[in-house]
Structure 1
Amino acid sequence: MMKTAEAGVSVLMQEKKEVEVEKVVEGEEGEEGEKKEKKEKKEKKEKKEKKEKKEKKENKEKKEKKEKKEKKEKKEKDRDRRRRRRRRRRRRRRRRRRRRM
């Protein structure tokens, strides 16, 4: 009976040691896991910031392109308006000259 009790105790001691070893191993994995999580979180944040920066740049470029296009259209419109005015003036002058003669 003594031997079985001693055997039981030694088995328990061995299991206890295995549990302690497992805890230590899990603890190391936990620290590494935390580091890995922090790194992943940081990478995710950087990726998000990079994406936002890219979108902001694209929006700025679109806005500038739109403004440039509008400016060009306005310039053409003004030019056409001036041409029409000149033509009208010339026509009026010609008509007046013809009437006088």
Structure 2
Amino acid sequence: RRRWHGRMSTPRQRDEGATAAASRPPRQHDAAAMAARHTEREREREREREREREREREREREREKERERERERERERERERERERETERERERERERERERERERERERESAVEAYEVGPAD
């Protein structure tokens, strides 16, 4: 039994209200439909979360590739420095040989001068 809450001023208006209520189909609490809508929303949210996780994994892979490229560039720079040091050592050895030849020539000159000063062996 429903109690009437609105203040209806005339019986006619009350009748119109009653007619409107009567022509509307009764509101049933359809538990199955409610549950279906609920699970549908749940699935939708689940799919959304899944898409979010997928995007996150994608970003993670991107960052991983970026780090890999960074390491590659680092190794490249390292090799470059290694080549630099190698050429430096090569130049150093070259200068060393040059100094050695210079000393050799110096000794030859000195021995020539000594031979000249001493004079021919009798």
With the shorter chain as reference, the TM-score category is 0.7 to 0.9
Alignment of 1:1-101 (within 5 A): 10-100=30-120
Aligned-pair Cα RMSD in Å: 2.3
**TM-score under structure 1 normalisation?**
0.75
**Structure 2: gaps of 5 or more residues:** 1-29
Task: Point out which structure has higher relative CO (alpha carbons under 8 A, 6+ apart).
Answer: 2
The superposition leaves residues 13-53 of structure 1 with CA deviations (integer Å, 9 ceiling, x where unpaired) of: 44433331221011111221222112111111111111111
**TM-score under structure 2 normalisation?**
0.64
* Aligned-partner Cα distance in 2 for 1:27–1:21: 10
Structure 1 segments of 4+ aligned residues over 3 angstroms from their partners: 10-15
**Structure 1: gaps of 5 or more residues:** 1-9
Structure with more of its chain in helix, by fraction: 1
* Aligned-partner Cα distance in 2 for 1:12–1:95: 123
* Aligned-partner Cα distance in 2 for 1:92–1:26: 98
* Aligned-partner Cα distance in 1 for 2:35–2:93: 84
Matched length: 94
Q: Percent identity?
A: 22
* Aligned-partner Cα distance in 1 for 2:91–2:39: 76
The superposition leaves residues 44-94 of structure 1 with CA deviations (integer Å, 9 ceiling, x where unpaired) of: 111111111111111111210121122112102211221122212320232
